[in-house]
Chains A and B, each alone.
Chain A
Amino acid sequence: MRVVELALENLRSYADLTLPLAPGATALIGPNGGGKTNVLEAIHLLARGDSPRAREDRELVRWGATTARARADVLRAESERRIELLLFAPLEDERRPRRRLLLDGAGKRPEDAGGELVVVAFFPEDVELLGAAPPARRRFLDAMLGQVERAHRRESRELRRILEQRNALLRAAREDMTPPEAELAFWDRELVRLAASISLRRAALVAELAEPFREATARFSGASGLELRYAGQVGGDTVDERAAAYEQLLREKRDRERWQGTTLVGPHRDDLSVTSAGRPLPTFASRGEHRSAVLALKLAEAGWLTARTGETPVFLLDDVLSELDPARRDALARAIPRDAQALLTAAVVTSLPDELRERAAVLPVRMGEVG
């Protein structure tokens, strides 16, 4: 699949940009701060509904404007789709308007974004993925599943709301003489149902990623024996097995949950772990090793998304090349499938590996102007 045309209005540095994009690789070349990352960020936003760099929509809206608009025309094997997203930067005393999402011109709920355009992305922020706190890794897994499974997006959303309610109840009932069993029953039932389903999907995903990840790390860093594992509270090959295990765990942790006033059981406590000979990666890896491991993970992700959707995802590679040595640059260039649309950013064209320089279209970007 690929983006045929990207159009941005008042998004970040772009007042008004219409950018036709070629199939295959495109290198956006220009000085830092010139706006090349914003192009990749906009595609990420349209594909997954969030930005790797912005926490709030107002950061994405161009200074002085109140509304930003992004549009991508997407060509898939069997269909064409137009995705449009409107973002608002509300004035101080106005109530915050929701985003608006349009698919082929028809309004959709913004939370239904995702899946129309499938991307695999590497932004500089991702280097921290394996060294950062667990939430970033859970988000990585959930975002990946969310791109191909609507049910996972819905259930993740539901789980967040269940946890909010259940935590509020546990906090409110801290002083009660007896546990609020009757009040907990509904939240427990929903928590168990969602936890079983979400954790099973994640564990199955990680199991499928493990081998491709091992291969990719070997190709990339020469490191061998890196193990990818889903570190979950419960095991089980079926939803029912997991549900039973979660129920048991809830009973065991009842007193501690009451004492701490928070939910200690559920997939929001799980993690994705990378180990080498039993040792966790973060304790010994250098920044370069982290970068290689994360790149390997993203390449495994691309392979998985291709297998699941039957189409090659769009690659978004922001400033990846500058910090890689020539051997790793070549390895990365070879790992990007020839049929993939890939958008790369770099400060200078010379940082492109030979193989990419031959096949990539080069787009100069500076001062918010492309081409």
Chain B
Amino acid sequence: MPSALARPLARLIDELGKLPGVGPKTAQRLAYYILRAPGPDAEALAAAIRSVKTDLRYCSVCFNIAETDPCAICSSDERDAFVVCVVEEPLDVLAIERTGQYRGRYHVLHGAISPVNGVRPDDLKIPQLAERVKRGGIEELIFATNPNLEGEATAMYLAQLLGGSGARLTRLARGLPMGGDLEYADEVTVSRALEGRRAVS
């Protein structure tokens, strides 16, 4: 079927439409916006997209997204290596860093346990966390998974798995709204949740 759209434009609409939260209409609007944007702007966008794939990697210690391996936090002497905060997503690291309160290190799971979505413990960076704990030197593990069903399931699974490791296990306090993601919580709320963390058995 002959298309009224020039092929490069149709391709751009297709690709944009694959992004989360972007429906066909938004994809069209974005594509035309990019088409009409000044040359350098469109180039900068293309370069930024290429760069996240070529210049970024996962830190082999904490699995956060970083420019170097190990990442800046894992290789910094300023950060307390005895405390590790376990989060679901890289954006959660940002939320906690924004508070300026936390001096420990991180472990990014890249998701939460959710059998409905086909996510079981081994699909996350959980075996790697167990390895990291086994290597020793961690005194406290803070489970900062989201306060929803999947986040709670993940925290409880980790508590069972790592209960005998000798590290103190804590969970963020209930300052966070139930069902609310860490990523969207404001700094004060996250700070309070960090301060009020409690032991998990």
Chain A positions within 8 Å of B, measured between CB atoms, are 93-95, 158, 161-162, 164-166, 168-169, 172, 180, 182-183, 185-187, 189-190
Contact = CB atoms under 8 A, between A and B. Distances in A.
A182 B157 contact: yes
Of the listed residues A168, A183, A186, A190, the one surrounded by the most CB atoms of chain B closer than 10 A to its CB is A186
Contact of A172 (B23, B115, B150, B156): B115
A165 B114 contact: yes
Given A93-B23, A93-B24, A186-B152, A165 B116 contact: yes
Secondary structure at the A interface, as helix, strand, loop or mixed, is helix
B24 A161 contact: no
Contacts of B161: 182
Contacts of B24: 93
B99 to A, nearest CB: 28
Contact of B118 (A94, A95, A172, A186): A172
B23 A164 contact: no
A187 to B, nearest CB: 7
Given A93-B24, A182-B161, A164 B156 contact: no
12 contacts: A158-B149, A161-B149, A168-B115, A168-B116, A169-B115, A169-B120, A172-B120, A182-B160, A183-B120, A185-B156, A186-B153, A187-B153
A168 B118 CA distance: 8
B70 to A, nearest CB: 29
A187 B156 CA distance: 10
The 5 A-B pairs with the shortest beta carbon distances in the complex, nearest first, are: A168-B115, A169-B115, A186-B156, A186-B153, A168-B116
Please tell me the size bucket of the interface on B.
Answer: 10 to 19
Contacts of A183: 113, 115, 120-121, 157
B34 to A, nearest CB: 21
A162 B149 contact: yes
Given A95-B23, A185-B156, 8 more contacts: A165-B115, A168-B116, A169-B115, A169-B120, A172-B118, A180-B120, A185-B160, A186-B156
B135 to A, nearest CB: 21
A182 to B, nearest CB: 5
A182 B127 CA distance: 14
A164 B152 contact: no
A169 B117 CA distance: 10
A95 B20 CA distance: 12
Of the listed residues A94, A166, A169, A189, the one surrounded by the most CB atoms of chain B closer than 10 A to its CB is A169
A172 B123 CA distance: 13
A166 B152 CA distance: 14
A278 B24 CA distance: 60
Nearest to B117: A168
Contacts of A172: 115, 118, 120
A1 to B, nearest CB: 31
Nearest to B116: A168
Contacts of B160: 182, 185
Contacts of A169: 115, 120
A94 B156 contact: no
B169 to A, nearest CB: 15
B159 to A, nearest CB: 10
Contacts of B23: 93-95
A67 to B, nearest CB: 18
B9 to A, nearest CB: 19
B77 to A, nearest CB: 36
A180 B122 CA distance: 12
A189 to B, nearest CB: 8
Contacts of A180: 120
B160 to A, nearest CB: 5
Contacts of B116: 164-165, 168
Contacts of B114: 165
Interface in B99-158: 113-116, 118, 120-121, 149-150, 152-153, 156-157
A261 to B, nearest CB: 11
A94 B24 CA distance: 8
A161 to B, nearest CB: 6
